[in-house]
Structure 1
Amino acid sequence: MNKRMKAGIGLILLIGTLVINSLGAFGFFNGLTQKDVSDQYATLITPAPFTFSIWSVIYILLIAAAVVMIIKSKEPYYEKTIDGISYLFWFSSILNMLWIICFSFTFIGLSVIVILAFSITLSLILKEITKIQTGNHWLIPAAFGMYTGWLLIASVVNTAAWLVKIQWQGFGILPEYWGIIMIMVAVALTVVVTLTTTNALVPIPVAWGYFGIYQSLMAMNGGQGTHQFLAISTLVGMVCLVVMAGIQFYSNRYRVMPEVHLNLR
């Protein structure tokens, strides 16, 4: 299969993902939107609705990256990239569509398995990109860095929703403290993925998600806010992630990912 065809299949699957996302957003599946299901299994770490606008940024970057790969499929860098990530990208798009369907039908446990596989697949894509990245190309690492970062926080929130569905009692520990633990877990996962992929953008969507969680907590109790320890922990986590992104960006010599010196010819 030639490079342009591989890249074209990636774009087709991405468009399919957008269609399924749109159908899910209008409640086509099971009469419930993703927000309806999220509200049904609300958690203390569910971000405010405005936070999910980040999907627009992610999809714009992904579409741009997919189109560029088709147009420049004969250039050495894009040839390497297409060969390195195409199958993983196809699989990630299939998992994305499958997750929307599972979540819409309230198969929350199954959706957790799917979203974890989804996150791992995106992390593997970033790992592949590190092998061929050059300093003159930022779009693809930016698109997948944002995508991966958002899926990390989404995976944690999805898991929390599943725990709500099964009415998990948390071994007697208060939900607020479990929320803090999950915030810490998400930070730890983000640190690991950022360090292993050297992508400076991975922490940014997670930090944005934390801002949304903080705003959601502050909106509780008639706007007076509640769960102060969790709210403070969320802010601390957000600041740490932004600082980490800055440090990684500096370490990369002000690039999304560091340049790898390879012979691409």
Structure 2
Amino acid sequence: MKRQYLQVTNIAAFVAVLTVNILSSALPINGRSAGEISDALPSFFTPAGYTFSIWGLIYTALLGFTIYQALPAQRDKAFLGRIGGLFAISSVANIAWLLAWHYGYYALSMLFMVSLLVTLILIYVRLEIGRPNPSLSSADKLLIQAPFSLYLGWITVATIANIASVTAYLGWDGFGIDGQVWSAVMMLVAVVVAGALLFNRRNLAYAGVLVWALFGIRAAYTDVALIANTAVVAAVLITLLALVGYWRTRQPAAPATPQPQTA
């Protein structure tokens, strides 16, 4: 019964977060689109508008997860228990962030965004995403691991962008350091976070989202050499980290079967 409850809760959580996200653009909530709010909170870390189209891929992937986990055959699978109520919590945090963001509670929105990031990291760790596991089927990798890799990748970038926008709104002067320099520093922070999450893990999806976001930042600031160049360097470093993680977690070759000795 507990597993059935989790399945239903996950469905409800996905429907709720998808609905609020659609309304945030369709209405929009509080009469302000996310783009208008971002324009009012300038920072040197907000990627070009087209970059946000990745939400379509993320929600399509999460829809696949929601349907897959709801199948009767998945009810007794270990992944459902490992996720527990974390997906529902992440959905609540996502919704809370959207409402706080659209209604102008920017400092509070930062708290919700960090909560969302932490929840997704917990899911990532509990599911051991990217770890070698011969028992995982192709469907498990595509419909469980890939959705949360994409989601976490984007929220990693979104959290840093949210912090940059909110601190700018609050009037923080960055200890007198130019905003462009802080943007470059934050991109390097993204590399460090990626390194921690990709070390000993095979996760090209997570790395791919970060690279996508970094090139979105570059596209938004092509006229700012420091930001554009740092974005490219960070993207290259993350790609290398992903390849190293992929290499470190490769499956060892099966030992050769000894041949019987003949007289």
TM-score calculated relative to the size of structure 2: 0.87
Query: Structure 2: how far apart are the matches of 1:171 and 1:75?
Result: 52
Q: Show the 5 A alignment for 1:77-96.
A: 79-96=77-94
- Structure 2 residue 192 is matched with structure 1 residue 188: yes
Query: Structure 2: how far apart are the matches of 1:74 and 1:160?
Result: 40
Higher mean C-alpha displacement, 18-27 vs 198-207 = 198-207
Give yes or no for contact 2:200–2:249 (8 Å, CA) kept in 1. no
Give the SS at the match of 1:201: helix
Give the SS at the match of 2:39: helix
| Alignment partner, residue 221 of structure 1 | none
Give yes or no for contact 2:68–2:74 (8 Å, CA) kept in 1. no
| Alignment partner, residue 217 of structure 2 | 213
Give yes or no for contact 1:7–1:86 (8 Å, CA) kept in 2. no
For the structure 1 residues 193 and 83, does the alpha-carbon distance in structure 2 shift closer, same or farther, using more than 3 Å as the test? same
Runs in 1 of length 4+ with deviation above 6 angstroms? none
TM-score calculated relative to the size of structure 1: 0.86
| Alignment partner, residue 141 of structure 2 | 138
Give the SS at the match of 1:167: coil
Query: Structure 1: how far apart are the matches of 2:196 and 2:104?
Result: 30
| Alignment partner, residue 259 of structure 2 | none
Q: Show the 5 A alignment for 1:98-247.
A: 98-130=96-128, 134-136=135-137, 137-139=140-142, 140-195=144-199, 199-218=203-222, 225=223, 227-247=224-244
Give yes or no for contact 2:183–2:227 (8 Å, CA) kept in 1. yes
- How far did 1:251 drift? 3.1
| Alignment partner, residue 25 of structure 2 | 25
| Alignment partner, residue 60 of structure 2 | 60
Give the SS at the match of 2:13: helix
Q: Which runs of 5+ in 1 are unaligned?
A: 219-224, 255-265
| Alignment partner, residue 39 of structure 1 | 39
* Equivalent residues, number: 245
For the structure 1 residues 120 and 251, does the alpha-carbon distance in structure 2 shift closer, same or farther, using more than 3 Å as the test? same
Write out per-residue CA displacement over residues 128-163 of structure 1, whole angstroms, 9 at most, x where no aligned residue. 101895342312111101111110010000000001
Give yes or no for contact 1:130–1:198 (8 Å, CA) kept in 2. no
For the structure 1 residues 114 and 73, does the alpha-carbon distance in structure 2 shift closer, same or farther, using more than 3 Å as the test? farther
Aligned-residue identity in percent: 25
Give yes or no for contact 1:141–1:199 (8 Å, CA) kept in 2. no
Write out per-residue CA displacement over residues 225-248 of structure 1, whole angstroms, 9 at most, x where no aligned residue. 2x2022101100011112222332
Write out per-residue CA displacement over residues 165-212 of structure 1, whole angstroms, 9 at most, x where no aligned residue. 012111111111111111111111121122376544222211111010
Query: Structure 2: how far apart are the matches of 1:69 and 1:252?
Result: 26
- How far did 1:12 drift? 1.6
- How far did 1:73 drift? 4.1
- How far did 1:74 drift? 4.3
Equivalent position amino acid for 1:138 in 2: K
Query: Structure 2: how far apart are the matches of 1:203 and 1:155?
Result: 16
Query: Structure 2: how far apart are the matches of 1:127 and 1:72?
Result: 25
Higher mean C-alpha displacement, 193-202 vs 157-166 = 193-202
| Alignment partner, residue 261 of structure 1 | none
For the structure 1 residues 237 and 72, does the alpha-carbon distance in structure 2 shift closer, same or farther, using more than 3 Å as the test? farther
Give yes or no for contact 2:187–2:231 (8 Å, CA) kept in 1. yes
Greater Cα radius of gyration, structure 1 or 2: 2
Give yes or no for contact 1:4–1:73 (8 Å, CA) kept in 2. no
